[in-house]
């Protein structure tokens, strides 16, 4: 079977299992950060995906949120980057508005992206070079927009007295309004559908952005870190996602004036 079709079917199947497992009791554990809940369902979904991939493609590499492949030494061949539940707080508190996110890379280059809004049963998917889809509908290329006429995805947490707050505050002040949905993968695809003009956040893991990034690129959107570098699946990073125009504005007018702060902050924060 073609790898793209296999991956698409696998993500949908994982979503079916997830909806079933949800009805069973959710046993919440707390990782190092109390805001970073992880549930048995997270782990079960990642294990399901890993088991299936390893059985079908034993030579493929896998990076997963719940502990798989965090020390890869090469990106040769096929690498899967998996977030079994992106938006765990939404999963726990809302029982909705979370996604399975999967990015597939060939020799480190984007090959295919999948973001599955499980409870809405909406699959965003793209094969690099062949356009992006919401279920069976081809997504149009996203138009350029001005910041002042755009909705910007950003969590108010980042404006609540953090070191990065003075950098981010003017962007929200100058936008039309802000939104916060609590799932990076879904917020990136909301940019890809034009529902948000941009999405900005100071730190994401590769599994948070890998799937969405590939979908976004297929509709002409741009994703970089706060200092304009491309995102990589080998390390966490700050993230600006947007249509070309708004991305350029944010980077040049709002980030560049802070480069003396951002460069060292960024290096430190990237870890």
Question: Shortest gap between Cβ of 23 and a second copy (angstroms)?
Answer: 16
Contact between 93 and a second copy (CB under 8 A)?
yes
Which residues, numbered 66-85, are part of the site for a second copy (CB under 8 A)? none
Backbone angles phi, psi at 20, to 5 degrees: -70, -45
148 or 232: CB nearest a second copy? 148
Determine if 163 is a binding residue for a second copy (CB under 8 A): no
Structural tokens at position 160: 């609540």
Residue 182 interacts with a second copy (CB under 8 A)?
Answer: yes
Among 20, 56, 94, 107, binds a second copy (CB under 8 A): 94
* 79 vs 178 by CB, closer to a second copy: 178
User: Residue 148 in 3-state DSSP?
Assistant: helix
One residue of 1, 23, 27, 35 binding a second copy per CB under 8 A: 35
Contacts 24+ apart (CB under 8 A), 3-9: 3/57, 3/78, 3/104, 3/111, 3/112, 4/104, 4/111, 4/112, 4/127, 6/56, 7/80, 7/102, 7/104, 7/112, 7/114, 8/114, 8/123, 8/125
31 binds a second copy (CB under 8 A): no
Shortest spacing between CB 55 and a second copy, in angstroms: 37
Closest contact distance (angstroms) between CB of 130 and a second copy is 25
Q: Does 158 bind a second copy (CB under 8 A)?
A: yes
Is there a contact between 180 and 201 (Cβ–Cβ < 8 Å)? no
Cβ-in-10-Å burial (0-12, 13-18, 19+) of 87 comes to buried
Q: Which residues bind a second copy (CB under 8 A)?
A: 34-35, 89, 93-94, 96, 148, 150-151, 154-161, 169-170, 172-173, 176-182, 194-196
């Amino acid at each position: 079977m073609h790898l793209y079709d296999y991956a698409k079917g696998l993500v949908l199947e994982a979503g079916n299992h997830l909806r079933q497992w949800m009805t069973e009791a959710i046993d919440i554990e707390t990782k190092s950060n109390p805001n970073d809940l992880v549930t048995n369902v997270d782990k079960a979904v990642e294990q399901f995906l890993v088991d299936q991939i390893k059985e079908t493609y034993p030579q493929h590499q896998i990076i997963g949120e719940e502990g798989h492949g965090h020390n890869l030494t090469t990106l040769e061949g096929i690498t899967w980057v998996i977030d079994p539940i992106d938006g765990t707080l939404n999963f726990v508190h809302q029982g909705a508005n979370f996604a399975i996110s999967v990015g597939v890379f060939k020799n480190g280059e984007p090959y295919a992206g999948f973001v599955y809004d499980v409870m809405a049963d909406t699959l965003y998917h793209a094969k690099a070079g062949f356009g992006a889809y919401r279920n069976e509908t081809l997504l149009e290329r996203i138009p350029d927009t001005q910041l002042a006429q755009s909705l910007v995805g950003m969590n108010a947490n980042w404006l609540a007295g953090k070191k990065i707050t003075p950098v981010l505050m003017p962007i929200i002040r100058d936008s039309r309004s802000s939104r916060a949905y609590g799932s990076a993968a879904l917020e990136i695809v909301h940019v890809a559908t034009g529902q948000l003009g941009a999405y900005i956040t100071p730190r994401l893991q590769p599994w948070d952005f890998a799937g969405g990034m590939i979908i976004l690129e297929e509709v002409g959107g741009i994703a970089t870190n706060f200092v304009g570098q491309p995102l990589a699946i080998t390390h966490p990073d700050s993230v600006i996602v947007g249509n070309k125009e708004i991305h350029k504005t944010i980077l040049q007018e709002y980030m560049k004036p802070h480069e003396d702060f951002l460069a060292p902050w960024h290096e430190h924060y990237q870890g």
